[in-house]
Structure 1
Amino acid sequence: MTKGTILITGASSGLGAEMARQFADLGYGLAITARRTERLDELAAEITAKHTDRKVITKALDVNDDEAVFAVFREVAAEFGQLDRVIINAGLGKGAPLGTGRYDANRQTAMTNFVAALAQTEAAMEIFRAQSSGHLVMISSVSAMRGMRKTITTYAATKAGVAALAEGLLNENVKKKGIDVSIIYPGYIRSEMNEKVAQQTKFMVDTQTGVRAMVDAIEKRKEKALVPSWPWVPLGFALKNAPMGIVRRIF
């Protein structure tokens, strides 16, 4: 008997893969999706070797394919019989300063991080509304707190956008319909996406530590959580409220 069922997008590496491991440790059945199926299969084998009674479904999914998003989400719900939680995690970190000739990179990030997240949200909420239950988890970023500079301008904007999508559902008060919504704002957590960032970056934590804080906030069904809470709760407040000149010096 599992604790529940979770679908995680972008689960072939980084934060998504580590969330799958940690939620499996907590007793959940999992559906893990990504474009790279060979890595999903390796992760599924790792989890089921450790937890022989755990059901792990793997699905190839390019979140930029709208039809595939709806099809895969429905398939997972049908195979499990009940889908308890969807974690919208798939994303890109590409980007360049605006107006420097790399619209292609910025557009790709915007399409994957926001438009594809919209499709995933629609697909998840369709299932949850039909069930009258569920937990939607949106992985945003502390960069969503304020407009960011140069290479992460577009990335930060997309993360602000997905947070606003989830906040709209909170405003709708879907909790009355049995649906919880959580917006997770990770700080600097080491992952494949940021592996080229300097190892000595201030406040950077390792993947397991950072994801443990994410999982804890998700399990508590917090509506909004900056993780790890130290130092990101106070830094997040400063980022959101300080004059831009001060923000520019810190971030």
Structure 2
Amino acid sequence: MASQKSQKTVMVTGASSGFGLETARRFAEKGHKVIVAARRKERLEQLKAELEQEFGQCCVYVLPMDVTSEEQIDSMIDSLPEDFSEIDILVNNAGLALGLEPAHKANLDDWHRMVDTNIKGLYLMTRKLLPGMVERKLGHIINIGSIAGNYAYPGGNAYGATKAFVKQFTRNLRADLLGTQVRVTNIEPGLAETEFSLVRFGGDKDKADDVYKGTEPLTAEDIAEAVIWAAEQPQHVNINSIELMPTSQAWASLAIDKVQG
């Protein structure tokens, strides 16, 4: 457990499931104060109750909000109690993929939603909390990217592009924040089994299950461990990025369209 001196205040977005939930759990297990943020308040309240039962009266604060709304971000974060107002670590986890159709068949509303959540939500949260971190000369922004931001695949179109934004935004933050003591990290998971595919396929469980059939994918716990490891490095060490895949996944060969005849 963290000592009072080393105890940090951590905010995790998208904390109602998957990577976010497990990341919040691991920080709470280590004795840190955790702000769990997501749209689904009932899931956050359930998580808070579970963490308090498992780890005792650990400090968990529920913050129901939509990261795509600048007004909600401003009002909810400005209303944080004093004990939670100085956030040391922001885990920008809120994000989603929708659809796997080729670009010319993709649903434009899905593209809008992915851009709003994966890009706009991430930079709004960062911009809101970053000034305080810089002023205190202490802080860590941990973004949850994806290997989709590094390697293209059919149907990845807008989703992959949003994660490429996360990668470059993280790098540019590192350049901007030189000399401030604020650290920035990008976590880039490969195939991982959470609610991710269920959301991507609009709740079609058969399609979602088929993605992982015959594989041993990463788990939410694996990603949470990567986040914790990056966060626990000494202050003079900045983990720029962590790219991780299950052993059952690797890069594919380049596709070639061969003309017949």
- How high is the TM-score relative to the length of structure 1? 0.85
Q: Secondary structure at the match of 1:31?
A: strand
- Residue matched to 1:205: 218
The CA distance in 2 between the partners of 1:206 and 1:87, in whole Å, is 17
8 Å Cα contact 2:215/2:248 also seen in 1? no
> How far 1:72 moved relative to its partner?
2.6
Q: Give the count of matched residue pairs.
A: 237
1:64-88: CA deviation from partner (whole Å, max 9, x where unpaired) = 1112123333434744242110000
Q: Does 1:245 align with 2:249?
A: no
8 Å Cα contact 1:210/1:228 also seen in 2? no
Which of 79, 87, 90 is 1:75 aligned to? 79
**AA of the residue aligned to 2:17:** S
> How far 1:111 moved relative to its partner?
1.3
The CA distance in 1 between the partners of 2:83 and 2:239, in whole Å, is 28
8 Å Cα contact 1:166/1:183 also seen in 2? yes
Which stretch shows the higher mean deviation, 51-60 or 133-142?
Answer: 51-60
Determine which structure has more spread, i.e. the larger CA radius of gyration.
2
Q: Does 1:121 align with 2:126?
A: yes
The CA distance in 1 between the partners of 2:142 and 2:26, in whole Å, is 16
RMSD of aligned alpha carbons: 2.3
Which of 188, 191, 211 is 1:188 aligned to? 191
Which of 192, 197, 217 is 2:230 aligned to? 217
Which of 44, 60, 67 is 1:40 aligned to? 44
- How high is the TM-score relative to the length of structure 2? 0.82
> How far 1:20 moved relative to its partner?
0.8
Q: Secondary structure at the match of 2:98?
A: coil
The CA distance in 2 between the partners of 1:201 and 1:93, in whole Å, is 22
- CA gap of 1:41–1:127, structure 2 versus 1, over 3 A, is same
1:4-46: CA deviation from partner (whole Å, max 9, x where unpaired) = 1100001011110011111111111100011100000000011
Q: Which runs of 5+ in 2 are unaligned?
A: 199-207, 257-261
Which structure carries more helix by proportion?
A: 1
The CA distance in 2 between the partners of 1:187 and 1:59, in whole Å, is 29
- CA gap of 1:72–1:126, structure 2 versus 1, over 3 A, is farther
8 Å Cα contact 1:214/1:227 also seen in 2? no
**AA of the residue aligned to 1:131:** R
**AA of the residue aligned to 1:205:** L
Q: Secondary structure at the match of 2:170?
A: helix
8 Å Cα contact 1:114/1:158 also seen in 2? yes
- Residue matched to 1:93: 97
- Residue matched to 1:249: none
- Residue matched to 1:148: 153
